[in-house]
Amino acid sequence: MKKVAIIGAGIVGATAAYYLSKESDLEVTVFDHGQGQATKAAAGIISPWFSKRRNKAWYKMARLGADFYVDLLADLEKSGQVIDFYQRSGVFLLKKDETKLEELYQLALERREESPLIGDLSILDKVSASEFFPGLQGFDSLLYASGGARVDGQLLVTRLLEASQVEVVREDVSLNPLSAGYQIGDRVFDQVILATGAWLGQILEPLGYQVDVRPQKGQLRDYQVEQDMVNYPVVMPEGEWDLIPFAGGKLSLGATHENDMGFDLTVDEILLQQMEDAALPCYPSLVEATRAGERVGIRAYTSDFSPFFGQVPGLIGVYAASGLGSSGLTTGPIIGYHLARLLQGKTVALESSDYPIEKYVKQIENESFFY
C-alpha cells in the first residue's frame, strides 16, 4: 500500500484527500498547522463568469471549477454528507457606471452557452431587486444571475475531511527527501501533495527552490441579523467588498486585499470599519446588525496572478499547487481533484501546460532529488 502525505488542509488539500481516500491501495495522511488558512477566511462566492480578466487559462479553470461543484456535491451526498455548505442563491452585480450593465449582460449571455450553470440572467430595477434582497440601496439597476453560489469554505473542508476519514495531524512540518520516499515528521511517504497556499516557499526554499508565491492578507467581518437570509443573493458591487448572506441570519462583509502585510494575522479594526462605512450606503440596515466576529486569512498570489499546479521539478512523486488568489473556493476543488488524479497517473481535464509549475517553482541550486 502506497503512503501519501498531503501538507495543507485547506480547500485544495481537503479535496485531494477526499478523492484519494476512495482508493483502496493508498493510505493518506494530512498535515496542517492550522494558521491563517485562506479557506477559513474566504468570502465564498462562486461566480466567475463576469470576470474581464484577459487570462484565458485562468477563466477556463474558474469556469470548470464552478461546474465541478455539481460533481463534488453529488459525490459528497453519496458519501452520506449533508450539503449545508453550498447554495446557489444567485448573485447581484452592481456597477458605478450602470450603462456597463448591458455589456456585462451580453458577455454573460455568450458565456452561458458553455456554462449553463449561470442560470437566468436579467437586469433588474430597484423595485424588482428588493424582492430578492429587501433594504438594498445605492443603485438604479443591477445585473442578476440565478446561478451564482455561495460556499462556506470552512464547513466544506470539514465535510470533505469527515467523508475522507483520513488522519489529520495538526502540526507544522517540513519535507525531507530520502533515497526512497520523503520524510515528514517521523514518518516516510511514497508521494506528497503540497497544498500549502502562500506557505509553499517555506516548504521548498530550504530544498534549494525559488518560489514565485507571495502572501496577501484578507480580512472580513461576520454579522448577525434578525432575518434569515437563506435565499438572499450575494451582492457584488464594484470595488473591494461584497455582501454574502447565509442561512440563520449570518451576513459576511469582505474582504480586504492587503499586499504589504506578509503573514500578519492580526485584525485591523480601522480597515474593517472603512469597509463597513463603504457598504452602509448600499445596505443601511448593516448599522443595526450585531458584529459576530472577524476572520483573517492569507491568500497566495504569483507575480502574474496566475495559478499553477503539477509535479515539483526535481522531486519525483511530489505535486503542488498555489497562486489561487481570491478565487480559491472557485478553483480549489477542481485543482485538488486534478492533483489527486495526477498523483495516480490519471488523465485530467485541465492541461498542466496552461498552468506550468516550472514557471513559478525553480531549482536554484544544482541539486536534484531524482533517485
CATH 3.50.50.60 fits 2-39+154-213+304-363, yes or no: yes
Beta strands 234-236 and 91-93 are parallel
CA nearest to 333, candidates 4, 85, 144: 85
Q: Mutual orientation of helices 56-78 and 328-343 as an angle, nearest 10°? A: 80
- Torsion angle defined by CA atoms of residues 221, 197, 76 and 356, in that order, rounded to the nearest 10 degrees: 130
Which DSSP category does 194 fall into? E
pLDDT digits (tens, 9 = 90+) for 112-170: 999 999 999 999 999 999 999 999 999 999 999 999 999 999 999 999 999 999 999 99
Which residue ranges make up each domain of the chain?
2-39+154-213+304-363, 91-147, 215-299
What is the per-residue pLDDT for 167? 98
Contacts with 12 (C-beta within 8 Å, 6 or more apart), sequence order? 195, 197, 321, 324, 328, 332, 333, 335, 336, 339
The topology under which CATH files domain 215-299 is D-Amino Acid Oxidase; Chain A, domain 2 (3.30.9)
305 vs 325: CA distance, rounded Å: 7
**Residues in a beta bridge with 142:** 124
Q: Which residue reads 481570491 in cell numbers? A: 326
- Give the integer Cα–Cα distance in Å for 200 and 182: 16
pTM of the model: 0.95
pLDDT at 274: 96
**Which single residue is written with the C-alpha cell 502506497?**
2
* Distance from C-alpha of 340 to C-alpha of 24, rounded to nearest angstrom: 14
| Rounded distance between C-alpha atoms, residue 342 and residue 319, angstroms | 8
Instruction: Report the relative pairing of strands 214-224 and 290-301 from DSSP bridges.
Output: antiparallel
Walking along the chain (371 residues) 10 residues at a time, the average pLDDT comes out as 97 98 97 88 91 89 97 96 94 96 95 96 97 96 98 95 97 96 97 98 97 96 94 92 94 94 96 96 96 96 96 97 96 98 96 95 70 41
